[in-house]
Structure 1
Amino acid sequence: MSDSLEDKFLNDFESNQNIVHKICRIYTTNSNDHNDLFQEITIQVWKNYSKFRGDAKFSTWMYRVALNTAISLYRKSTKSVKTQDISDIAYKIKSVDYDDTEEKQLKALYNAIQKLNDIDKALVFLYLEDKSYKDISETLGISEVNARVKMNRAKDKLKKVLNP
């Protein structure tokens, strides 16, 4: 591989790495798992970078690779015992200050999202990223109508968890 491909990859990845961190936050419950998933997604994005044709935006393509990696690792990990690091229970987002109420609501939302299945997590994540249903459907490889239906069902599930 040439240096220019590596440089282009580094530039593309660095400018979109917040996508990976957000996906890691949704699919993991502690910092060690977050770091492991981040590393695995980075490896998969790099391994597949030469296959990126540019038909879609890099960020859309990266969402797809990252979500597929997270989902496949999540499915493998369901056989192991889940643990949670006490220090990681509080989700902290840099450069955004929340008051206590907002922070509690954010924690509750992330806890509720953790209870969704892997596809619903991906849908909610993309929805919270203000992606259009067209972008969501392209990223997940489903029809736009299916994305809307699944999102409405995911919203209903979240409402039941947040307001029992």
Structure 2
Amino acid sequence: MTTLTSIAAMTTPDARAAFGTLLQQHAGIVFKIAGSYARGAEDRADLAQEIAAQLWHAWPRYDPARSVSTWMYRIALNVAIGHLRQQELRRRHDAVPLDDALHDVADANAADPEQAQHLRLLQGFIARQPPLDRALLLLYLDDRPQREIAEILGISESNVSTKIGRLKQRIRDAF
């Protein structure tokens, strides 16, 4: 349990600087999750800001014995899934469509038009998945070990393995 003393210690300029450095080093996690769970540039920016705020709020309770990226993924995914649930309640949609900005990113990262098309298809497939499956796919495609995926998502390693196998089959069926 975090004490008031440790919370006060975390608000020192050194603690803020350390957190800022950590956030810059791992900004890709925040932007990857925000880009996968929010529509439009403004929504992605808002979600990224909310993730950063929640990371700062959780910073006093971070256990340095654990992986920073695992800790960040877990918080970022929880915030993003909560954001998505709120959006779904408001909009009553089953899927969050990708917008043209994500297609532009796929095009810019692709070596050729065919690869860009494959990336768009994969992004569309990921966007149509339920929140937990979407998170699982993002972590799997980021080459995270199954043990880390299990820890981040709060499910067993065998459940991760089973879900990955099923998602791979759904991808093969879809394409």
TM-score (norm 1): 0.90
- Secondary structure, counterpart of 1:116 in structure 2: coil
Matched, 1:14 2:27: no
What is the distance in 1 between the residues matched to 2:73 and 2:166? 22
- Secondary structure, counterpart of 1:142 in structure 2: coil
- Secondary structure, counterpart of 1:131 in structure 2: coil
When structure 1 is superposed on structure 2, of 76-85 and 61-70 the one drifting more is 76-85
Are 2:147 and 2:157, in contact at CA under 8 Å, matched by a contact in 1? yes
**2:3 match:** none
- Secondary structure, counterpart of 2:103 in structure 1: coil
The structure with higher relative contact order (CA 8 Å, sep 6+) is 1
**1:110 match:** 123
Query: Could you tell me which of 47, 60, 71 is aligned with 1:50?
Result: 60
Stretches of structure 1 lacking an aligned partner (at least 5 in a row):
none
Are 1:20 and 1:41, in contact at CA under 8 Å, matched by a contact in 2? yes
Q: Using a 3 Å threshold, how does the CA distance of structure 1 residues 137 and 89 change in structure 2: closer, same or farther?
A: closer
Query: Could you tell me which of 88, 96, 101 is aligned with 1:78?
Result: 88
**1:30 match:** 40
**2:145 match:** 132
What is the distance in 2 between the residues matched to 1:138 and 1:79? 27
Provide the identity percentage.
30
Are 2:109 and 2:116, in contact at CA under 8 Å, matched by a contact in 1? no
The structure that has the greater radius of gyration is: 2
CA offset at residue 86 of structure 1? 5.5
AA matched with 1:118: P
Count of equivalent residues? 162
**1:100 match:** 113
CA offset at residue 150 of structure 1? 1.3
**2:169 match:** 156
Are 1:29 and 1:88, in contact at CA under 8 Å, matched by a contact in 2? no
Stretches of structure 2 lacking an aligned partner (at least 5 in a row):
1-10
- Quick check: which one's helix share is greater? 2
The root-mean-square deviation of aligned C-alpha atoms, in Å, is: 2.1
